[in-house]
Amino acid sequence: MSEKVIIIVVTWNKKDYVLNLISQLYENVKYPEYDILIVDNASNDGTQEAVTSKFRDIIYIRNKENLGGTGGFNTGLKFVLNNKEKYKYIWLLDNDVELINDPLSPAIEILKNDKSIGVVGSSILSQENKEIITEIGGLIVKKNRILGNCKGRKLNECNEIYEVDYVASCSAFLKVKVLEKVGIWDDYYFIYFDDVDFFWRIKNEGYKIIATKKSIVSHPDFVEKSNIFGGYYYMRNSFYFFLKKYKLGKLSAISFFKYKVFYIVFDLIRGDKKNFIAMTKAIENYFKGERGKSLWIEIFLKRTEHKSNFKKKLDLKRIDKIVFSYSTKFRELEKFYKELKKKNPFIRVFFLSDIGRKGLINTIGDIEIIVVDFNKKWKTLKKFFTLLFKEKVKFIFSFKGAFGNFLVKYRVYEKNGIFFFEKNRRFSKWLKFVFIFPILFIFYFTKYNLLYILGYPKNEKQNINNNSNL
């Protein structure tokens, strides 16, 4: 059998990314035998014309519509299965990665030398700061959530190789015979959790999932790419994976659901109305049986698109504290931090961050980081209210619907180096909070209701403390 590798890249309206990635592959990869397959999810930015005219030996497949990452990779995997005599290995690759040396050759060497290994994943470095790790594979922790391995650390602080539960599909290698055994991706997902599901199925077949420092790429931090659109699918699909595929036991299912409800309650507390509605609807649509691409989220985002109406200029010399919302991207934060410090060297800058981004954010400057950890619910809330009421922060740099929309007095916006602000309309949201929070609080602690909602029979509630299914 041939030792040939097929590299599958899925794209949608990312012409420049794809052209850059193909150039990197030809420049960096030393492995002697490989084909590049571009799967185009119906791009309308001229991707096909640009790629096929510049690289004539590329295999190019164009889908009739945008099938998401799930459908796009499935198109490529079906092509492999129809040509399995030509290929022995597969490299799944995102179009926005940057290659560090040759990631392919060392990964294939690992797959060749150990028959028990089914998948090898690259170490993923943050594209915003290539000294910081986004993840080296991932783990399913506490049986109800996923966690990137070595997240936020430096390469020299981590081991050479790890056995993990899944790897990021932005750079993952597997054997064709493994694909034949487990089949293609579950088309329920569209985006998010599709790769976790796929690699978890491979592990269930008895293969090892390995992540290694020998193969390295950089990729935009997953939080940096996050938005309401992606968050909707992440929430909905996490329910599908953990409840339908991973098949949590009763107590783990309750813990999972409480964790998700707290996340949504926190959206409400921090005033993120838009995200609160989207995440709540994601759970509702999961129970309604929605699968694949969601028309609801696309319509919702179009209807709620916010056009800023800031008019008042902000004199930065007159304020002493400002907090940046959790959703602020690294490059935006870096840019605005420098502008703020230039105009007011004494201003204190706060930033809400998860633990994985802390190392990345620390590279910008003297930013006081408030770590948001949804595994430590009440400590997170305490930090949040300390920031608001003890530090008395009155200015939040964010777009409408972000952190502190009704608890922080003013929202700040920047355009062409000029900072503007407007007062929040807080009191109507406070009223909603007063009525909604007690309902969610009761719902959060009612275990029997959770069991029923999560699909467990009513007669099982008497056995709630039975751990036999865990």
pLDDT of res. 459: 44
Whether residue 378 contacts residue 402, with contact meaning beta carbons closer than 8 Å, is answered with no
Q: Mark whether 333 and 280 lie in a shared domain.
A: no
Domain boundary among 194, 219, 244: 219
Q: Mark whether 194 and 277 lie in a shared domain.
A: no
Q: Mark whether 258 and 200 lie in a shared domain.
A: no
Distance CA 40, CA 47 (A): 8
Q: Mark whether 268 and 162 lie in a shared domain.
A: no
CA distances from 72 to 158, 169, 416, 437 (A): 33, 12, 38, 40
Residue 470 lies in a domain: no
Q: Mark whether 320 and 414 lie in a shared domain.
A: yes
The CA-based angle 246-174-104, given to 5 degrees, is: 135
CATH of residue 406:
3.40.50
Q: What are phi and psi of 345, to 5 degrees?
A: -60, -20
List of residues 6+ apart from 362 with CB closer than 8 A: 369
What the block records as the tokens of 291 is: 């699968």
Whether residue 72 contacts residue 194, with contact meaning beta carbons closer than 8 Å, is answered with no
pLDDT of res. 248: 72
Q: Mark whether 115 and 232 lie in a shared domain.
A: no
Q: Mark whether 276 and 237 lie in a shared domain.
A: yes
Q: Mark whether 65 and 150 lie in a shared domain.
A: yes
pLDDT of res. 114: 93
Distance CA 314, CA 431 (A): 29
Residue 371 lies in a domain: yes
Number of domains in the chain: 3
Coil/strand/helix, residue 217 = strand
Residue 468 lies in a domain: no
Domain that holds residue 407: 312-425
pTM: 0.80
Domain boundary among 202, 219, 236: 219
Domain boundary among 168, 193, 219: 219
Distance CA 106, CA 112 (A): 10
Residue 118 lies in a domain: yes
Instruction: Report CA torsion sign: 38, 41, 42, 43.
Output: negative
Walk along the chain (470 residues) and give the pLDDT tens digit of each residue: 569 999 999 999 999 999 999 999 999 999 999 999 999 999 999 999 999 999 989 999 999 999 999 999 999 999 999 999 999 999 999 999 999 999 999 999 999 999 999 999 999 998 888 888 989 999 987 666 788 889 888 898 999 999 999 999 999 999 999 999 999 999 999 999 999 999 999 999 999 999 999 999 999 876 666 678 888 999 999 989 988 878 776 667 777 777 777 777 766 666 667 788 888 899 889 988 999 999 999 998 888 775 555 567 878 778 888 888 777 778 888 888 888 888 889 889 888 777 777 777 888 888 888 877 656 666 766 777 777 777 777 777 765 444 444 456 777 777 777 777 777 655 345 445 554 555 555 454 454 445 555 555 444 333 333 333 33
Q: Mark whether 249 and 326 lie in a shared domain.
A: no
Whether residue 413 contacts residue 311, with contact meaning beta carbons closer than 8 Å, is answered with no
Q: Mark whether 51 and 156 lie in a shared domain.
A: yes
- Residue found under tokens 């309750």: 254
Residue 120 lies in a domain: yes
What the block records as the tokens of 272 is: 């993120």
Whether residue 69 contacts residue 194, with contact meaning beta carbons closer than 8 Å, is answered with yes
DSSP summary character for residue 463:
G
pLDDT of res. 318: 80
Whether residue 422 contacts residue 405, with contact meaning beta carbons closer than 8 Å, is answered with no
Helix (H) or strand (E) holding 70: helix 68-82
Distance CA 432, CA 277 (A): 13
Residue 356 lies in a domain: yes
What the block records as the tokens of 260 is: 């998700």
pLDDT of res. 339: 84
Residue 469 lies in a domain: no
Q: Mark whether 55 and 189 lie in a shared domain.
A: yes
Q: Mark whether 104 and 186 lie in a shared domain.
A: yes
